[in-house]
Structure 1
Amino acid sequence: MSTSAAGSYAPTPYTVPTRSPERASYDRELVHAILDEGYLCHLGFVREGRPVVLPTLYARVGERLYLHGSTGSRPLNAAREDPGLPVCVTVTHVDALVLARSAFHHSVNYRSVIVHGTATPVTDPEEKARVLDALVDHVIPGRSADSRRANRKELAATAVLALELSEVSAKLRTGDPGDEPEDLSLPHWSGLLPVATVHGAPVPAGDLEPGIPAPDYLTGYTRG
């Protein structure tokens, strides 16, 4: 694990943004909080000379990120090659639309994390089973104990990639629009339109046995 000080990741040429570097943060607690609030990431890699970006589920366990996939997927096949698959993983939360008086200064308030590194497959069956439980519980805490665990055939069909949290940075934008002083008197509304992800009430499957209630961990389910 690469750190520049207690509680911080060390900046590298891959993690220092060229635009708005003042918005970057390497604070470990902040990085973990942003990762833990989400469960969908975008996995970027190069395949046969062309860039590929795939959405997938993930979970953080300590200083390691685990990515869910299929045994027939392109990233897993590439990750089997020594020393692994160079990747870039991104997680983003949009908190508000920023509406300025000028079109140029419209923006978005957001929190994001970018992770660079080399992903490798998790091959040990016991470790893979634990990681899959962690993935399920990261999305819905408590769900792994309330469902059948993957059997041997399902484990063989499921891929998990591991990525160390070493080259990591967070980037954030907060606050009001940054209008030019000469635009402040213009007759255009300016401010923020908050954005939030809302999880609705549980909807039972059509073939659910009568009398099985929705579990308590789904009541009022929220993240962050």
Structure 2
Amino acid sequence: MSISQTARTKLNKAAHKGVNDQETLYAIIDESKMAHVAIHDHRGPTVIPMLVWRIDDNLYIHGAKNSPLMKHLRKGEDCCLTFTLFDGWVLARSAFHHSAHYRCAMVFGCFERIESNQQKSDALDAFLEQIAPGRSLEARPGNEKELTATELLVMPIQETSVKVGRHGVNDDLADMKLDVWAGVLPYRTVVGPLIDAPDLETTTKPDYSSAYGKRWSDE
């Protein structure tokens, strides 16, 4: 799947940072696991950060059935999800040219409601497996009451836009000889180690490192 080109996904500013491939889009979504969901309801423009996960070519979001956001989205209203990963500061010789490295994906579309509790359970188990491999077999599964109280929505990934900033320092020629350090200050998200709950009875720690690759830390 290539990234769609529509009036609202076309990059007009810094178009050279645009990326048009599925692999980059999915990598941003999968690493982020959180999106800012933009809607327009009776309150006016509203942006709410929500946990979002991907299964194949679909995005999933869940929440309480009485949530104003979920009530709005389950009606099939148009919305936008933005995933952003901050990768570092670009420190130039001049203040004007300081900038950032980042990866950003926007997904436009409409959510649909999932009614089946079995489908809800399967999708939520998939989410658990993404954040903690093996967890769906360790934790008590959701019961019928809990699943019925949970609103689960799904959106196909169709209309999207991806921008990646990895350009490095871009100083003016006149500033190149200034005695000022220039370069990139990387910013990394580190995952782990596990922190025990104060009332934990078991001493066996699970290993969830496989979900995070080089981001996992035991220190």
TM-score by length of 2: 0.91
Matched with 1:11 is: 5
- Aligned to 2:111, the other structure's residue is in SS state strand
In structure 1, what residue type is equivalent to 2:189? T
Matched with 1:184 is: 176
Aligned identity (percent) is 36
- Aligned to 2:122, the other structure's residue is in SS state helix
Q: Is 1:155 aligned to 2:147, yes or no?
A: yes
Cα contact 1:16–1:24 (8 A) shared by 2: no
Provide the C-alpha distance between the structure 2 equivalents of 1:217 and 1:139, rounded to a whole number of angstroms.
Answer: 8
Q: Is 1:108 aligned to 2:100, yes or no?
A: yes
Cα contact 2:133–2:210 (8 A) shared by 1: no
Which structure 1 residue ranges, 4+ long, deviate > 4 Å from structure 2?
A: 218-224
Unaligned runs of 5+ in 2: none
CA RMSD of aligned residues (A): 1.8
1:21-46: CA deviations, max 9, x gaps? 11111201111111112211111111
Provide the C-alpha distance between the structure 1 equivalents of 2:175 and 2:115, rounded to a whole number of angstroms.
Answer: 59
Cα contact 1:26–1:170 (8 A) shared by 2: yes
1:127-153: CA deviations, max 9, x gaps? 111111122222222221221111111
Cα contact 1:117–1:163 (8 A) shared by 2: yes
Cα contact 1:39–1:138 (8 A) shared by 2: no
Matched with 1:139 is: 131
1:101-140: CA deviations, max 9, x gaps? 1111111101111000111222221111111112222222
**CA gap 1:117/1:221 in 2 versus in 1, 3 angstroms:** closer
TM-score by length of 1: 0.89
**CA gap 1:220/1:22 in 2 versus in 1, 3 angstroms:** closer
Q: Is 1:25 aligned to 2:16, yes or no?
A: no
Cα contact 1:11–1:26 (8 A) shared by 2: no
**CA gap 1:120/1:177 in 2 versus in 1, 3 angstroms:** same
Q: How much does 1:157 deviate? A: 2.2
1:215 pairs with one of 188, 203, 206: 206
- Aligned to 1:121, the other structure's residue is in SS state strand
Cα contact 1:57–1:135 (8 A) shared by 2: no
Matched with 1:52 is: 46
Q: How much does 1:202 deviate? A: 0.9
Provide the C-alpha distance between the structure 2 equivalents of 1:220 and 1:128, rounded to a whole number of angstroms.
Answer: 22
In structure 1, what residue type is equivalent to 2:133? P
